[in-house]
Amino acid sequence: MNKLKFKILKKVGKARIGQIELNWIKLTTPVFMPVGTKATIKGIILDMLKDPQKIWSEDGIKLILANTFHLYLRPGTHIIKKAGWLHKFENRDKLILTDSGWFQVFSLGLGNTKDSLVKLKPDWVEFRSPYDGSKHFFSPQKVIDIQTDFGSDIMMVLDVPTPWGETNKDIASKHMELTHRRAQMAFEYFLPKYEQARWVLFPIVQGGIFLDLRAKSAEFLSQFAIDWIAIGWLSVGETKEQMYQVLDFLSDKLPESKPRYLMGVWTPEDITEGIKHGVDMFDCVLPTRLGRHWTAFTSKGNIKLRNAQFKDDFWPLDNQCSCFVCKNYSRAYIHHLVKENEMLWAILLSFHNIAFLHQLVEKIKKDMLEN
């Protein structure tokens, strides 16, 4: 009856290796998911991610993310629907996850004054488009309709995360209650359509840094973890200790048999730690963001290709990396491209950084299987 099939192949401590099947596509977890905000991963031709030789992987990257807020406003839901879903629009025949749009709405600046761009109501959120000032709203039902029109394989519920740094438990609790109320509305709307649809919907556990709230949220939302469950609003400002503490705590509270998605991590270390604490899926904007800032992940830390020290450095970005870029290009060449502002540097660095995180996860899986 579940549309998303998940089985755990091996456990090492709390870490799990699993296999997922959804819409005829199989992938193993833990899995790293590159971010394709506006129906493109910045600087990348999605086609490159399919090519096992390029990305260094058995079967390329099979799951990427897109952002509902951006795509809803531009080019607009109707355009993507008319194109034949996001998959056809951006030329991607693998799985696509879309978020609920909340994070970007929130980033517009929450407030309840007359002039604020965003107004939070119990059952929906109002906001004005940053492009043209036009008025919009997102409700739990509406973001499902939008994501349905996108043809998303995996949809997220509209939640109410507690902003980072929030130490007032009453506020965190209020946000959690709102999140639960909305999840209830979302699933009441979604479940009658579940059998006919090809998509799945994930609830998102909230509760800020308060362990008892997180426990309550995990317990309440487990009823909706039909296919998967997500952990929201971590790794966006708390200390690493707080983050790992919540993850560790939650690992026993979330349903064992469902995959767990930790939303929006920031560093390779977060991914490694996340896996140790039983997380099965990650997304991260850093590979392309760093790429556009001349920076490459390496096994010895980040390097900035703009620096003059690389002008006659004929080593690859990372000599332990097997990606297409490291196999074919030198640091000296990429430094030259940066100095000349040839856009190829952003392409190569973004691609390498995605491949680097992908390989990191693959390597952890391999070690777990062999050990």
* Residues labelled catalytic: 99, 283
Report the site for a copy of itself in 126-165 (rule: CB under 8 A).
none
**Beta carbon of residue 294, minimum distance to a copy of itself (angstroms, whole number):** 15
Q: In a 3-state reduction of DSSP, which class is residue 38?
A: coil
Residues 6+ apart with CB under 8 A from 370: none
Position 342 contacts a copy of itself (CB under 8 A):
yes
Nearer to a copy of itself, 20 or 44 (CB): 44
Q: Which amino acid is at 293?
A: H
Binding a copy of itself by CB under 8 A: which of 25, 83, 118, 120? 83
Nearest to 144 by CA among 134, 156, 133: 156
Q: In a 3-state reduction of DSSP, which class is residue 75?
A: helix
DSSP readout, 306-369? TSGGGTT--S-S-TT--SHHHHH--HHHHHHHHHTT-THHHHHHHHHHHHHHHHHHHHHHHHHH
Position 42 contacts a copy of itself (CB under 8 A):
yes
Nearer to a copy of itself, 138 or 333 (CB): 333
Position 174 contacts a copy of itself (CB under 8 A):
no
Binding a copy of itself by CB under 8 A: which of 346, 349, 354, 357? 346
- String marking each residue 287-316 x if it binds a copy of itself according to CB under 8 A: ------------------------xx-x--
Q: Which amino acid is at 207?
A: G
Query: Distance from CA of residue 307 to its chain's centroid?
Result: 31
- Binding-site size, a copy of itself (CB under 8 A): 37
**Beta carbon of residue 154, minimum distance to a copy of itself (angstroms, whole number):** 22
Q: Cβ(214)–Cβ(204) under 8 Å?
A: no
Position 75 contacts a copy of itself (CB under 8 A):
yes
Binding a copy of itself by CB under 8 A: which of 112, 299, 307, 328? 328
Nearer to a copy of itself, 241 or 340 (CB): 340
Nearer to a copy of itself, 211 or 344 (CB): 344
CA atoms 80, 85, 89, 92: torsion sign: positive
**Beta carbon of residue 357, minimum distance to a copy of itself (angstroms, whole number):** 20
Binding a copy of itself by CB under 8 A: which of 324, 349, 358, 359? 324
Q: Cβ(61)–Cβ(355) under 8 Å?
A: no
**Beta carbon of residue 44, minimum distance to a copy of itself (angstroms, whole number):** 8
Position 336 contacts a copy of itself (CB under 8 A):
yes
Binding a copy of itself by CB under 8 A: which of 337, 354, 361, 364? 337
Residues 6+ apart with CB under 8 A from 233: 161, 162, 164, 206, 208, 263
Report the site for a copy of itself in 85-114 (rule: CB under 8 A).
89-91
Q: Cβ(315)–Cβ(308) under 8 Å?
A: no
Number of residues in the chain: 371
Q: Cβ(234)–Cβ(245) under 8 Å?
A: no
Binding a copy of itself by CB under 8 A: which of 173, 333, 349, 357? 333
φ, ψ of residue 20 to 5 degrees: the values are -115, 145
Nearest to 49 by CA among 285, 364, 366, 352: 352
Position 330 contacts a copy of itself (CB under 8 A):
yes
**Beta carbon of residue 244, minimum distance to a copy of itself (angstroms, whole number):** 35
**Beta carbon of residue 304, minimum distance to a copy of itself (angstroms, whole number):** 17
Residues that bind a copy of itself (CB under 8 A): 38-40, 42-45, 47, 70, 74-75, 79, 82-83, 89-91, 311-312, 314, 324, 328-330, 332-333, 335-337, 339-340, 342-344, 346-348
